[in-house]
Structure 1
Amino acid sequence: MNLTISGHHLEVTPALREYVLTKLDRVTRHFDQVVDVSVLLTVEKLKEKERRQKAEVNLHVKGKDIFCETSHEDLYAAIDELMDKLDRQVVKHKDRLQDHHHQSPKRLNGDLGEPLS
């Protein structure tokens, strides 16, 4: 798994890097076919009173690219929300991959080839 953590208007400290890595462990525990992860942490200074911390991730898994982004006043809270969203999307993708063995609607009704009326 290739991992890139970068910051925009922000220096990525070892504490931030470690926090992102521990949060990513939950995602990789649910789905182990992660190829590439790119995390971008941004600080947007809109006004002196309003500061918005933004976290976004681009995750490349086998067969799909998943993108999430969140904004919050606190960067750690933004990373928490981001990993929650990412985890939900990865679990949903995993369920779609494993859900290929369902029966057709004709088989569920007990009709074998007769048209539904």
Structure 2
Amino acid sequence: MDTNFNYVHVSASERLEEFTKTKLDKLKDRYEFLISAEVFFKTENSTSKDKGRIAEIQLSVPGPRIFASSNEENFEIAVSKTINDLKTQLQKKKEKMQTH
């Protein structure tokens, strides 16, 4: 699966990319219809010190694209929560595809 990483007001991190790729590879193994992924890492200037690290992932699949985003205190937690949201959406899509 092709994975593109985009950084908005964040410096690139190979460790973060590897962490995200590992999580996405697990999704690819489970949902073979995945085509590609666009991953965005952003920082948000907020007054709250708890959050501000945003991970957005957009998956290309047959039909409409699937998107999820999380805003957490660090990128690893944001990626994990985003992946969990995507799993839910992918499971629904897989069930819908099986009924057709």
Count of aligned pairs between the two proteins: 100
Higher relative contact order (CA 8 A, sep 6+): 2
Distance 1:60 1:49 in 2: 33
Structure 2 gaps of 5+ residues are none
In the alignment, is residue 82 of structure 1 matched against residue 88 of structure 2? no
Length-normalised TM-score, structure 1: 0.78
Distance 1:48 1:63 in 2: 38
1:69 alignment counterpart: 69
Length-normalised TM-score, structure 2: 0.90
Two-structure CA RMSD over aligned residues (Å): 1.5
Q: Which amino acid aligns with 2:15?
A: A
1:93 alignment counterpart: 93
Displacement of 1:50: 5.5
Alignment of 1:34-53 (within 5 A): 34-47=34-47, 49=49, 51-53=51-53
Name the larger-Rg structure. 1
Q: Which amino acid aligns with 1:60?
A: S
Identity of aligned residues (%): 26
In the alignment, is residue 5 of structure 1 matched against residue 5 of structure 2? yes
> Can you list the C-alpha shifts for 1:75-111, whole angstroms capped at 9, x where unaligned?
11111100000111111101100023xxxxxxxxxxx
Structure 1 gaps of 5+ residues are 101-117
